[in-house]
Amino acid sequence: MKVLIVGAGFTGAVIARELANNGHVCHIIDQRDHIAGNCYTQRDKDTNIMEHIYGPHIFHTSDEEVWEYINNFGEFYPYINRVKTTYNGEVYSLPINLHTINQFYKKSFSPSQAKKWIEQIADNKIEEPKNFEEQALKFIGKDLYEAFFKGYTKKQWGCDPKKLPASILKRLPVRFNYDDNYFSHKYQGIPKDGYTSIIEKILEHENIKVQINTSFYKDMIKDYDHIVWTGKLDEWFDYSEGHLGYRTLDFIKYTEEGDYQGTAVMNYGNEKVPYTRISEHKYFTPWEKHEKTIYFKEYSRECGVDDIPYYPIRLVDDKTILEKYLQKAEREKNVTFAGRLGTYSYMDMDVTIKEALTLSKNILKKLDRI
């Protein structure tokens, strides 16, 4: 069968590969001038540092199938994401751990003392947190919430944390020990040759044809047995039910001699600092040596129709609109909606790959029935 896949990020590439392995002919197009979507990496011309063009990506998973799958397409070097945050001129460790708590409250608590302390200051009246702010108040209390989450989250999402789902905060752990690994997954790493090379290898198959700089037009549909759409869900339906909200990011790049901040990611909790974080990319490849450095100030703002969408916001209004699009999507029998944008969900790379593998099985069954 002939399948058109729109979007050459992780989702599109994995689905193309799975269908191609099963004898189907896949044509994958992307409107940008490169593959790999927002995971795109390339070496900076001036410094040769591996640059994550659309912001830092650290691969982490506890899923054996996904880890095995991705390792077929490139070598991963071990990398532990350790994030720092600056608040009122002091640097703290994230995610909130015993070091953060002791430094913030000028204490030297043991794990059990810290736990007791946090239980006392947390808001115990909240039983079922209904939003991001309630979730934070219940788990860490007002002081830590206001220092590390309130301002950052306002900048990142452009709205009051009371309007955001509690699930966003549930991404981050609170630890009563000195473990400052940002993630809790079994496997964590960064590809030695960057993500573009991984996706290139996934797409390297005689049944896959890749075309970049190519936009999708509805009259392409007639030439294919099935379409996989990894673009924005609302865009497929020409925004007929309204626009789903996304955040986009702007990165301001700086190049300097030596070292800028001594770590890969520094967050900024104060609302009045206009950027959310600064990432210094040579720290994502600690096995390489570089005399110069590149770093990026990251600014978040509302995503316009022509901007690159990064994060689905998923406020109450968005969810109402999403329901309508999902019903419409259900009726499109020859189209599969996939990925962060195609399903309007906040997925990490490993979940994206897992979902793409599952969807591929469904598509294969569908193609068998045609």
Footprint of ligand UDP (CB under 6 A): 85, 94, 148-149, 152-153, 156, 168-169, 171-172, 267
Phi/psi at 138 (5° precision): -70, -35
Angle, alpha carbons 95-348-84 (nearest 5°)? 25
- Alpha carbon distance 108, 369 (integer Å): 65
Those residues whose C-beta lies under 8 Å from the C-beta of residue 1, and which sit 6 or more positions away, are: 24, 25, 225, 226, 367, 370
Q: Which amino acid is at 239?
A: Y
* Residue with smaller CB distance to ligand UDP, 343 or 360: 343
* Residue with smaller CB distance to ligand UDP, 183 or 229: 183
How far apart are CB 36 and ligand UDP at their closest, in Å? Answer: 18
- Alpha carbon distance 39, 341 (integer Å): 14
- The catalytic position among 277, 283, 318, 340 is 277
Reply yes or no on whether 369 is catalytic. no
Asked if 229 contacts 342 with a C-beta cutoff of 8 angstroms, the reply is yes
Reply yes or no on whether 43 is catalytic. no
Reply yes or no on whether 17 is catalytic. no
* Residue with smaller CB distance to ligand UDP, 136 or 227: 136
How far apart are CB 85 and ligand UDP at their closest, in Å? Answer: 5
How far apart are CB 315 and ligand UDP at their closest, in Å? Answer: 13
- Alpha carbon distance 212, 301 (integer Å): 27
Reply yes or no on whether 171 is catalytic. yes
- The catalytic position among 43, 68, 171, 301 is 171
- Alpha carbon distance 363, 356 (integer Å): 10
* Residue with smaller CB distance to ligand UDP, 11 or 153: 153
- The catalytic position among 247, 295, 344, 355 is 247
How far apart are CB 343 and ligand UDP at their closest, in Å? Answer: 16
How far apart are CB 148 and ligand UDP at their closest, in Å? Answer: 5
Burial-class residue 63 by CB neighbours within 10 Å (0-12, 13-18, 19+): middle
- Alpha carbon distance 214, 149 (integer Å): 40
* Residue with smaller CB distance to ligand UDP, 49 or 169: 169
Q: Which residues are catalytic?
A: 171, 175, 247, 277, 298, 346, 348
